[in-house]
């Protein structure tokens, strides 16, 4: 079964490479990153292309630890918030770059039903379950299935989640495949199979500052585009109300490029008050698609770096680091505060298992789950 998942992921990666402007060799290497308290060894896999773009992946949490690339002057910088070593991710978890699952985002009351059976998940976000609970995929060691250099650099990681793990039904066999090509496309494919009905919604939780991680001006000056006519408003517990609300030229309208700073403190909008800024899901105009299509475009006008996020999923959560309060010391000894980074998380809609009008997150035996996404890093000169 696992071979089928991996084959699907690698087929997508090859297709992405063949459409790139160049198909030169990219490098994949692995190195020890430390051990967990139980003695489990953790590795770092580094993917590098010939244009100066590189990505580091930790097997702990299947975490994207860094993504580095040149600015308009050729200066290389890491554009991801996070930690310099394994210890930071273990001791001070904050979802920096991790793979989140089984269910990314919030589920109201940690409860959902499949048929006539009700399930209760851990409550790790006050009255909600967030990102799979307090022992989600981000806090588990993943196994290395393969690491390959070639036209694209590739690493495949796997995890088996037992039936009942964190309250979720069904044994889930999961893989995450990272690929990097010469055009600066960092592909991520999440794939899973279950032996009984369950829910799955996996994504990556990278937090970006395209000026370079730790830059003093933060990321609020970045210009953001989200091709979506509507978003899903939330209640005071950050659970979607079920409505699809038109953006209609207000602070949630990013159909044309806008500075993030322009609306993030607009307390006249109750949604901004609830989220302490932006922490909402946009309903992408494209909906769910077979191949990844544009979900968001982020540009730093100073460095010239551009990030495009593509996905097969119908939504994207835009989170502007509103809960970063200066208590976390990240890479290079930097204190992270609100607005220091931006997350753009492709996904099913939050609380979809409790909202019949939203696209279902149910996964059944014989019908595998798959989410393909791309972080495309480039430079506007």
Which residues form the catalytic set? 205, 345
Cα distances (angstroms) measured from residue 309 to each of 121, 228, 373: 30, 14, 7
**d(C-alpha 273, C-alpha 10), whole Å:** 43
DSSP for 65-83, please give it: EEEEEE-TTS-EEE-B---
Secondary structure (3-state) at 6: helix
**d(C-alpha 288, C-alpha 34), whole Å:** 39
Q: Which of 318, 158, 303, 341 is nearest to 228 (CA)?
A: 318
Burial category of 279 from C-beta neighbours within 10 Å (exposed 0-12, middle 13-18, buried 19 and up): buried
Q: Which of 342, 352, 353, 372 is nearest to 202 (CA)?
A: 372
Q: Where are the alpha helices (DSSP H) in the chain?
A: 2-18, 86-91, 270-275
Secondary structure (3-state) at 261: helix
Residues paired with 106 in a beta bridge: 130
Secondary structure (3-state) at 26: strand
Residues contacting residue 356 through CB under 8 Å, at least 6 positions apart: none
Tally of CB atoms within 10 A around 87: 11
Please compute, for residue 100, the number of CA atoms within 13 A of its CA located in the half-sphere on the CB side.
25
DSSP for 34-55, please give it: EE-TT--EEEEEEEE-TTS-EE
Angle of CA points 199, 205, 108, to nearest 5°: 45
**d(C-alpha 321, C-alpha 335), whole Å:** 13
Please compute, for residue 277, the number of CA atoms within 13 A of its CA located in the half-sphere on the CB side.
19
């Amino acid at each position: 079964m696992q071979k089928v998942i991996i084959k699907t992921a690698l087929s997508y990666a090859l297709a992405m490479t063949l459409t790139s402007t160049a198909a030169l060799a990219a490098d994949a290497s692995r190195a020890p990153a430390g051990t967990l308290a139980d003695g489990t060894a953790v590795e770092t896999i580094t993917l590098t292309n010939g244009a100066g773009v590189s990505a580091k992946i930790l097997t702990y949490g299947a975490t994207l630890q860094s993504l580095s690339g040149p600015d308009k002057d050729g200066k290389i910088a890491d554009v991801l918030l996070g930690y310099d070593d394994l210890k930071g991710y273990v001791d001070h978890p904050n979802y920096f770059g991790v793979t989140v699952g089984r269910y990314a985002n919030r589920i109201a009351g940690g409860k959902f039903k499949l048929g006539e059976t009700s399930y209760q998940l851990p409550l790790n976000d006050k009255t909600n379950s967030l990102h799979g609970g307090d022992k989600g995929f981000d806090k588990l060691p993943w196994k290395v299935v393969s690491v390959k250099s070639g036209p694209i650099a590739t690493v495949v990681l796997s995890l088996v989640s037992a039936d009942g793990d964190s309250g979720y039904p069904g044994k889930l066999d999961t893989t995450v495949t990272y690929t990097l090509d010469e055009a600066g496309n960092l592909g991520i494919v999440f794939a899973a199979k279950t032996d009984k009905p369950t829910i799955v919604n996996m994504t990556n939780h990278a937090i970006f500052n395209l000026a370079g991680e730790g830059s003093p001006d933060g990321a609020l000056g970045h210009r953001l585009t989200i091709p979506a006519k509507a978003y899903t408003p939330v209640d005071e517990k950050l659970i979607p109300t079920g409505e699809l609300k038109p953006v209609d030229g207000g602070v949630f309208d990013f159909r044309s490029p806008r500075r993030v700073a322009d609306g993030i403190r607009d307390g006249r909008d109750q949604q901004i008050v609830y989220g302490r800024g932006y922490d909402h899901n946009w309903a992408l105009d494209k909906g769910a698609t077979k191949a990844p299509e544009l979900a968001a475009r982020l540009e730093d006008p100073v460095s010239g770096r551009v990030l495009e996020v593509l996905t097969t999923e119908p939504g994207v959560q835009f989170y502007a680091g509103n809960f970063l309060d200066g208590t976390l010391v990240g890479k290079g000894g930097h204190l992270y505060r609100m607005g220091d980074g931006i997350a753009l998380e492709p996904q099913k809609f939050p609380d979809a298992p409790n909202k019949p009008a939203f696209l279902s997150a149910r996964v059944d035996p014989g019908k595998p789950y798959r989410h393909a996404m791309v972080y495309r890093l480039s430079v506007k000169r």
